[in-house]
Structure 1
C-alpha cells in the first residue's frame, strides 16, 4: 500500500529570495513554445518544470537539473485498486507485475509458436474462473500448469530487466496504490534513446506470459500481507472510513477469492481501458535538454491512441455521527489508530490538513511531540495526513507504555485533538511550522529523484502545481481562529474511527494455499531481436568521476579536533556531525544516554523549551550511538548555524539530571524491549547476529533488566557532559568553508587541548562457519523466512571488482540468477536474493548472505532451490555480459556528493584504503571472465557450511525438515535478545 507522502513543499522564513523561491513571489501559469512544442510552466518555479500535453493526450512533465548525469523517470497511469472491477479485485496490481513480461517483440524466442499456447492458457483460465467443482478445478489447473510449461519454452524471462540492467538503470520497479500504477526507473542520462524505445514497446501491446508463476508471486505477496499487522490495521481503518468508496471496499492486492480465480481476459480489458495516453503521464527529472527530450518522447509514444476512460464513481460518504470501532488481531504488540475523514487532495481543506498534521506531529514541537512523547506518557505516538484524490484522512496512532490500556491511549490522543478545537496552542507553533517548510522545500527540490517523485504525486492526485507552490503564502496567513474553526468542523469528539490492534491469534486468516507448479524454463541464453536492436543503439559515453579525498574534502581544526568539510554551493542547508569512532561496544550505557538527552533541559530551559527553540530555528539534533560509531547530528539553515550549534552545545554541556524522566524512560524502554520480542524482523536480526558472532553477539550486547534498573540519572548526565572530552571529528556539509566552520565552532565547541581515548570494553569476533546449523525461532506467521549466513575470509581489497560483478550476476536484482530461478522459474518466493558482503572495516571477515521469504509449505523446496544455486553457478554468457556492462555504466553515472563524500572517506579509512575503490572496479571488471566469477563462487560458496536462520511457526515447519539442513538449535527469546 503506497502511502502518499505528506505535502511539505513551499515555505520561507523571510522575504529574501532563496534557492529560486521567495515568500511573496508571484506564481502564475504561463504558456510558451520551444522547438515546435507548446508547454505550460509556473513562474518562479524552483523545479523549472514544463508541462506538455501531446496530441494524443499524453501528459509529459520535464524538470531538468544538471547536478547528476542521471534521470529519474516515472511512467504513471491514473488507475489503481480503486478502479479494479468489483469481481476482480487486485487486477491493477496483477497487471503491474505483468508489464515486466514483454510483448510479441521481446520476451519471446519464437512468438509464432508461443502465441497459440498462450491463447490456450487464456481459455483455460476463463474455464477455471467459472468452474465451481473443486475436482474439476484441479484438473483444469493441471492442464494450465502443463500448457504453461510448454509456453515457457519459448519465453525469455526477465528480458526487460536485462535490458534495463544493461543500460545501467537503478531502481527498476513499479508500485500500485489506490489510484495509480507507476513504473519507475533511474537511468544514466546517455541512454534516453534506448530507454524510450524500450518503454514505448513495453506499453504497446503487453503479452501476459509466464502468468501462473507470477500469480504465485502475488500469492506470496498476499501471504506477506497476512503476516503484517500494520497492513491489517490500515485495511480495517479504510474499510470503516470509506464504506461507499473503493478505498475501503477493496484492497490493492485483492481478495483471496479473486486471487484464486484470475481472468487474463479481464486483465487485458483493464489494460485497454486505462492504459491510454490521455490517462497516463511521463515524468522526468535530471540531466537533459527539455526541448530535445519532448521531441524524443513524442516520437516514441505518438502511436498511442486517445480514447475515453471509463467514468469512475467515487461514491459519496455519509457523515460519521458516532465513533466507529474495529478490532484487528495478530502477534505484534498492541496499538490503536484513530482516523478522521477529510475532502480530497485538490481541495483547500486537504492542504489545511497537512498543516494540522504538522501541528500535531512534526518530530520536535507538535502537540503530540511535546505533550505525549516528550513527557513520556506513551511509548510512541504520531499523527500524519493521508492525502488521496477522492478523500483524505488524518491518522493518529499511539502505542501504550507498560500498564496502559488502549482506551487510555485513545483518550490521551483525543485530548491533543481537542486542544486544536479549543485553541490551546501557541501562535509561535504556527509560525515555526511555516519556518520549517522552507527547509522542507529545499530538501525536496535539491535532488532530481525527489523532484520527480513530487511531480508524479501531483499528477496522479491531480493536484495543481501552482497551488502547491503557493502553499507557503496560504499557510502564512492562517490565524488561530482558522485552526480552531477547521478542527471544530472536521475533528469532532464523535466523528472518528478507532482501530484496536489486539495481541492474539487472528482467526480470520485464510492463507492462499500453494498450487502445484512445475518449474518453467527461463531461457537465460536466449535473446530477442529487439534486445539486440536496443543494445546496438548508440550512446555517448559518460566519463566517471572519482573522488580525490585530498581535494574534495577541506580540512581544518578546532583545537585538537579535526574538521572535515564539503562546501554546499547549491542551497542554504547545513549538516554538522560530531563523529566518534566508538559506540555501544565501548560502553553499553552510551545508547541509553544518547536517547535520554531528548528528555532533558538545562537550569534555564526545560526540555520542551529547547525543542520549541530548535523547531523555531528550523533546525534539529539527533544523537545516535551504534555498535562502533556514534554520531551527533545537528542540521538546519545556514543563517542559523551559530544559534543552532550553540543551542545544542548548551544542552549537552549543561543538561540537568532528571530522575523522574529517567524512571519514565526505563518503563518505556522495558516495554519497547518486550515489544521487540514480538517483532519477527527483530527476531531475525537477532538470529543473524547469533549466526555471525555466536551466543554472545552485538545484538544481545545490551543491559540486563537489573543493570537497567541500577542506572542513575547523574551517571548518564555525567557521560553526556564528558562526551566531547573524548576523541572525535567534526564533519560538515554546508555553505561555510572549512575555515569558517572552524572559526565559528572555536567559540562554541569548547574542548580540552588533549582529548581522551574512549575505553574499549568489548570486542566481537565473527565465528567460523564450520558446519551446517539451523537457528530456529518460533513466530506465529503464515510465511517462513530463511537467511543463509556464512562467515568467510578476512577483508581483501583486491577481490572488490570480482565481488561487485558477481553480485550483479548472481543475486543482486530482478535479472539475477537467484531471482530468475527461485521466483520466475519455480514460483517459490515473492522476495529472494543473495550476495557476497565485504566488511565495514579491515579487521572483519567477508560474509555470504542469502534470503528466501516463502510460504511455510514451500520450506523444503525453497531451501533446496537456494542450496542448488549456492552449489552450482548457472552459466549465461548473455546475462554475464549484461551484468558487466550494467556495472560499468552504473559506476560511470554515479556521483558521490555532499556529505556522502565525507562518509565515503571515513569508510575507506576503516578499510585501509586511501582512494576511491570504485575506480578499481570500473577498470578491472571488464577484464573478468565468467570463469573468474565461477571460480569465486566455487571458492566461497560451493560445498561450504551455512547457518540457516529461520523464523516460522513451529506448527508449520517440522523439526525433521530443519534437521535435514544441519544441527538444529531452537533459541528462546532471552538467548536472542539478552534480556
Structure 2
C-alpha cells in the first residue's frame, strides 16, 4: 500500500460545452433490472451512474475484452482532511483497512477485543505523555499487550481472501483529496469480492497497529531518501502557504508519526467513510443489472451522515517569485510551478489541457521543438496537476554539461513568453485534438484507465459534469488562440515558485527512529469462518484460453522477411514493427545511433518538420536497441498508415549527418552518465548486475569515454542507413486483412536481395557463487538496501509451474512468507520480496534474487530474518492452497490479445518453445505439494552461498557488521558503471 503521487494530464477533464456538444452529449435516465441510472449519450465508456438510497455512488462501465474487472472503492478523504495535530492519519487508516474486522483477521474476537481496546487506551496515553522515560514505559506496555493480542490475530487474511479469488494488484493509495482501495478481480468473483468489501468497511478492527505503524515509518524514511518527493513537497508548501495541499503532507510529519492516536483515527473513519462520501467504480466484464443489485444488498447497511467539506480560505496571490532550495545526493534539477484554477473551474481546466499539449506533446510542442529537439538542456518537461480547488502547472528541467540551473530556468520561461505572445501556429490545436482522440481509443482498452477516469471525476465532485468529461476532446478544438494567450498572460507571470534541487547534504532530515518491537504472531495456518464462507461461495468456472501459435498468428513473407500478423477487429489503430536480429551486444553503437535519429533531418525535411508531420497525422515512430534486438515501431491511425510508413522509410534511408547535433548529444550523454552515478536506483541495479555476471556485465557494457568521443556523425548515419539490411521480422497488428497489409508494406518497405550477417555478439556468462561475498557501495541515505543474489541451473520448461508456485508461496506478494515474516511480524521493512528469477532465453540460468529495504539500524536484523527464511522454509498448507488457487484463477482469466499474441510467440520461441506454456503450468497445479516446494527450496536456496549487494551510508552502518556475511568488496562507481 503505497502513497500515490500522480501528475495527471487529464484525458477526461471538464469544459464549458458549446451548442454542438450539448446536443451530442446529454444526460439521460434509464431503468434496468429495477434500478434507475443516469448516463451520457455518446459516452464511449457507456458508464452508468447510480446513487443508492443511502447516498452511495456506484459507477459501472462494461468492457468485455477479458474476463476481469478493475474495481475501485474511494472516499473523498485524504491528507486535506487530516486533523492539524495528526497529519498522516488518512494514510495510516488506509493501511489499517487491510487488517480485518471482528469476522475476519481474528481467531477469537471475544478474547482479542479487550486487548485491542487496551492498546487503543495505551496509544491515547502515549500520545499525551511528554516525558521521554514515561513514554518509553508506555510504549513497552503497547509492545507487550500487542504481542498478546497478536496471538488472536490472523495476519494478511484479507490478502489471502483476495488472492484465493484470483485478485491481482491488491493495493490502495492516499492522496490529498482521496483514499482509494484497488483490486483487479476475475469476472466470476463478483459475489465474493462484494461480500468481502462490504464486511471490510462495516466496522474495521485496527489490529496489529504497532507493527503496521513501523511499516509507515519505513515508508517515511524511504521518502526522506527520495529527492524528487522532497522537491514535490517543498514546491507544494510554497505554492500553498494556507491550503492543506501544501501544509499537510500525505504521509505526515515525523513528530505526528511518533504520536499516533487510535481513537482519533476511529473518529476520522466514522466521519468520512460514509456512503454519501464514497463511490464504488467497476470497469470490465459483468452484468450491470446484477452488479448494482448485489452492491445495494451488500452495502445497504451503510448510513448516510452529513460530511463537512474541506473549504479553506482562498490563497493570497503570489506577487513575485518564491525561491526554494532542496539538497540531496541525486542530480541537480529545477522545478517552476504556477498556481492555477482547479478542476471545478471547467473552462480553465480545458484551456490548461490545451496549453500543456502546446508546450509539450512529445513531438511538436514548444519545449519539444525549441528545447529538447535542439538539445538546449539535458531534458525539459511540462506537468499539469489538476486538483479540486487549484491546479499546479509546472515546468521542469535538468542542466546539461557546463550549464547552470538559472540558464535552464531562462530557457523554460522563454517558452512561456512565446505562448504569451501567441507566437505559435493555431493549427497545432487541431493536431492536439487528433492525438487526444488516438489516446482516447487506446485508453478504452484498459479497465484501469476507465475506472481511474470515473473515480477521478467522483473525487473532484465532477461526476455530475460527466458530459463535460466526455466532450473534452471535442471541445479542445473550440479553444481559440486568444483564449490561450489570455490565460497564459493572466496566470504565467512572476507569480511562480521555483525549487532548485541542489546536490549536497540535506541537514534538515529527521529520521524516524527505530522503536523496540517484539515480533508478533502471524498465525499462518489459521483461518476465520468468514474466509471459509467466502471460499465456499459458488463461482461459475472461467475456462482458460490457450494460444495456438499456428492458428492465432497468420504468417506470410515479403521478399526474404517473415511477416507475423494478427488482425485488430476492435478499432482503427495499427502497430507495425520491424524486429531486427541485431542489438547492442552485436554493436555498442546501435543504441547511440537510434537515439541520434530523432535529431536528424533529411534532404526534404528538418528534424523539427519530421516531428510536426508525425504529430499532425496522429502517428508515432520509435527505434529502440536492446541487448539482442533492435525494433522499429510505427503506430497510429490506420487511415494514415501509408503516410506514416512512407515518411519513416524516407527518414531511415535519407537521414543526414549533423555534427552539431552529435556534439550536443555526446555532451548530454556524458551529463546523464554523471547523473546516473548519483542515483541510488541505478547504482543498486549496477551492483546486482556485477553480482550476477562479474566485473564485465551487461549493465556496464557501454561505450567508453574514448569510444564515445571518437564516434563521428557519418559513422552513426551509416549504421542507420544499413539497419534495414539486417535480417528482420515484420509484425503487423491492425484492421487490414493479411493480404492488404502485406501488399501495403511491400509497397512501402524496401528490402535487400539478401540480408547482411550481423556482427558476432558479445557473450555474458553468469558467475558461480562459491562462497558468501558482500559487494558494498557507499551512498548518502537514511535507509539501507540489501539484495541477495545467486545463480542457479539452466532453464528447464518443466520447472515453470513449480517455480511459479514457489514464488507465490515464498516471496512474491503481500501474502507470501517473506512479506508476512519480515514486514508483518517483525516490522523490519516497508518493502521486501524474494523470487526465483527465470531467464528469457534457452540455455540461460535461473537466479535467486531477494530484497529488503530497511532503516540502517535494522540492517542486521533484516538480513538475519531473510537468511532464516532462505535456509528454512516454514510450512503453511493454507498459504500453499491459497497460492495454488490464485495461480489457477490468474491463468483462467488471463487473455493475451492484440499484438501481445505475437510477442508471446516470440518470447516462447526465444526459450525454445513452440507452444503456450501456460497450459502445462495450469495442468500441473493440482498435483504440486508442499513437499515439492520444500524440495525445491532445499535444492536451490537453503544453505547456499550468496552475494550480498548492500547500498548504504558508511556513516550509518558498522563496517565490521558486513564482514559477518562474507568477504567484503567495496565497489567504486567506476567499477559499477564502467565509466
What TM-score range do you get, normalising by the shorter chain?
over 0.9
After superposition, the C-alpha distances for 1:693-752 in whole angstroms (9 at most, x for unaligned) are: 100001110111111100100000000000000001111211122322211111111011
Matched residue, 2:797? 797
Partner of 2:561: 561
Alpha-carbon offset, residue 136 of structure 1: 0.7
* 8 Å CA contact retained: 1:10, 1:441: no
**CA–CA distance in 2 between the matches of 1:305 and 1:351?**
37
**Matched-pair contact (CA < 8 Å) for 1:23–1:472:** no
Which of 253, 274, 284 aligns to 1:276? It is 274
Q: Distance in 1 between matches of 2:745 and 2:474?
A: 35
Greater Cα offset, 479-488 or 686-695? 479-488
Distance 1:685 1:912 in 2: 28
Structure 2: state its 5+ residue gaps.
15-19
Q: How far does residue 308 in structure 1 lie from its aligned partner after superposition?
A: 0.6
What's 1:962 paired with? 962
Q: Distance in 2 between matches of 1:642 and 1:397?
A: 36
Q: In 2, distance between residues paired with 1:25 and 1:633?
A: 39
Query: How many angstroms does 1:63 deviate by?
Result: 0.3
756-765 vs 686-695, which deviates more? 756-765
Cα distance in 1 between the residues matched to 2:653 and 2:32: 59
Contact 2:87–2:252 under 8 Å retained in 1: yes
Preserved CA contact (<8 Å) 2:65 2:445: no
Q: Quick check: 1:9–1:437 contact (8 Å CA) kept in 2?
A: no
Match of 1:84 among 67, 78, 82: 82
* Mapping of residues 809-888 of structure 1, within 5 Å: 809-888=809-888
Q: Is 1:972 aligned with 2:975?
A: no
Shift of 1:10: 9.0
Number of matched pairs: 968
Aligned position for 2:435:
436
Distance in 1 between residues matched to 2:495 and 2:162, nearest whole Å? 49
Residue pairs, 1:26-105, within 5 angstroms: 26-105=24-103
Secondary structure at 2:926's aligned position in 1? helix
Q: Taking structure 1 as the reference length, what is the TM-score of the superposition? A: 0.98
SS of 2:730's partner is strand
What residue in structure 2 maps to residue 650 of structure 1? 650
Moved more, 552-561 or 541-550: 552-561
What residue number does 1:756 align with? 756
- Superposition RMSD in Å: 1.2
Q: Is the contact between residue 774 and residue 950 of structure 1 (CA under 8 Å) also seen in structure 2? A: yes
Give 1:727's aligned residue. 727
Match for residue 17 of structure 2?
none
Distance in 2 of aligned mates of 1:604 and 1:752: 24
Residue 531 of structure 1 is matched in structure 2 by 531
Deviations 1:62-81 (A, max 9, x none): 00111100000000011001
Shift, 1:424, TM fit: 1.1
Name structure 1 gaps, 5 residues minimum.
Answer: 12-21
- CA shift digits 1:374-403 (9 cap, x unpaired): 000000000010000111010110000011
Where do 1:75-224 residues align within 5 Å? 75-224=73-222
Please report how far the alpha carbon of residue 632 of structure 1 lies from its aligned counterpart in structure 2 after TM superposition: 1.2
Give the Cα separation in 2 of the matches to 1:209 and 1:908: 46
- Rounded Cα–Cα distance in structure 2 between residues aligned with 1:786 and 1:522: 24
Residue 628 of structure 1: CA displacement? 1.5
1:393-429: CA deviations, max 9, x gaps? 1011000001111111101000001111001111232
In 1, Cα distance between the equivalents of 2:769 and 2:452?
44
Structure 1 residue 319 displacement after superposition: 1.1
The question of whether the paired residues in 2 share the 8 Å contact of 1:342 and 1:350 is answered with no
Rounded Cα–Cα distance in structure 2 between residues aligned with 1:934 and 1:737: 51
Kindly tell me: are residues 413 and 672 of structure 1, through their superposed partners in 2, closer, same or farther at Cα, counting changes over 3 Å?
Answer: same
Which residue of the partner structure matches residue 15 of structure 1? Answer: none
The match for 2:380 is 381
Structure 1 match to 2:354: 355
Q: How does 1:700-779 map to 2 (within 5 A)?
A: 700-779=700-779
Tell me, in whole angstroms, the C-alpha distance in 2 between the residues paired with 1:827 and 1:324: 40
What secondary structure, in the 3-state scheme, does the structure 2 residue paired with 1:846 have?
strand
The answer to whether the 8 A contact 2:13-2:349 is kept is no
Which secondary structure does the structure 1 equivalent of 2:177 belong to? coil
TM-score when normalising by structure 2: 0.98
The alpha carbon displacement at 1:449 in A equals 2.1
Q: Which residue of 1 aligns with 2:391?
A: 392
Task: Give the Cα–Cα distance (whole angstroms) in 2 for the partners of residues 889 and 473 of structure 1.
Answer: 40
Q: Conserved in 2, the CA contact under 8 Å of 1:773 and 1:966?
A: yes
Contact 1:24 1:473 in 2 (8 A): no
Q: Is the 8 A contact 2:274 2:305 kept in 1?
A: yes
Which 10-residue stretch deviates more, 86-95 or 457-466? 457-466
Instruction: Answer with 236-245 or 305-314: which moved more.
Output: 305-314
> Greater shift after overlay, 79-88 or 618-627?
618-627
Relative to structure 2, which stretch is displaced further, 471-480 or 509-518? Answer: 471-480
1:504-583 correspondence to structure 2 within 5 Å: 504-583=504-583
Query: Aligned partners of 1:9 and 1:149: how far apart in 2?
Result: 49
1:461 match: 460
- The 5 Å alignment of 1:247-646 reads 247-347=245-345, 348-463=347-462, 464-492=465-493, 494-646=494-646
Q: Secondary structure at the match of 2:905?
A: helix
Q: Which residue of 2 aligns with 1:8?
A: 11
CA displacement at 1:575 relative to structure 2 = 1.2
Is 1:564–1:738's contact at 8 Å kept on the other side of the alignment?
A: no
Residue in structure 1 matched with residue 684 of structure 2 by the alignment: 684
Residue-by-residue CA offset, 1:460-515 (whole Å, 9 max, x unaligned): 112221101111232111222121111111112x1111000000000000000100
1:581, distance to aligned residue in structure 2 (A): 2.7
SS in 2 for 1:964: helix
After superposition, the C-alpha distances for 1:607-631 in whole angstroms (9 at most, x for unaligned) are 0000000000111111111112221
Q: Is the 8 A contact 2:13 2:468 kept in 1?
A: no
Cα shift at 1:5: 2.1
User: Is the partner of 1:427 in helix, strand or coil?
Assistant: coil
